[in-house]
C-alpha cells in the first residue's frame, strides 16, 4: 500500500495496534468486492495522510480477518469504528463524508 500513514490490520495485529494508538483511531472495515468500500477508501486514505500524527488510521479486510470482524459485530461494510484509549467509542455504517468522519475523530480528542 502506497500510503505509509494507513495501517493494514488483521486478526493477528489488531489488538496490539489499538492498544498502542495514542490518540483517536479510525478503523475502516472493508472488502475489495464492496462498491461503497471503494468509494470511501480514498477518503480514509486522505484523512490518514492529512492527519498523520494526530489520528491513527487503519483498514481491516473483513474477508481476511473473520475473528476481529465478528468480535465487533461487523455485518455491513463499510463500517468505520472510532477508538480512543483502546475502546470503541463510535461507529458509522455505510458511506459518510470526510467532514463527518473528521468531526467524529475530533470529538475524541
Residue found by looking up cell 481476511 in the block: 64
Residue of 9, 18, 26, 34 marked catalytic: 34
Residue of 6, 9, 26, 37 marked catalytic: 37
User: Which residues have C-beta within 8 Å of that of residue 61, sequence separation ≥ 6?
Assistant: 8, 10, 30, 31, 32
For the question of residue 51 being annotated catalytic, the response is no
For the question of residue 30 being annotated catalytic, the response is no
**Residues with active-site annotation:** 34, 37
Amino acid at each position: 500500500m502506497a500510503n505509509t500513514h494507513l495501517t493494514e490490520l488483521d486478526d493477528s495485529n489488531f489488538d496490539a495496534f489499538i492498544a498502542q494508538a495514542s490518540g483517536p483511531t479510525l478503523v475502516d472495515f472493508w472488502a475489495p468486492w464492496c462498491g461503497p468500500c471503494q468509494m470511501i477508501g480514498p477518503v480514509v486514505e486522505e484523512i490518514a495522510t492529512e492527519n498523520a500524527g494526530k489520528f491513527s488510521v487503519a483498514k481491516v479486510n473483513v474477508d481476511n480477518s473473520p475473528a476481529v470482524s465478528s468480535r465487533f459485530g461487523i455485518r455491513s461494510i463499510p463500517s468505520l469504528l472510532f477508538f480512543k484509549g483502546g475502546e470503541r467509542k463510535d461507529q458509522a455504517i455505510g458511506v459518510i463524508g470526510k467532514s463527518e468522519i473528521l468531526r467524529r475523530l475530533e470529538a475524541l480528542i
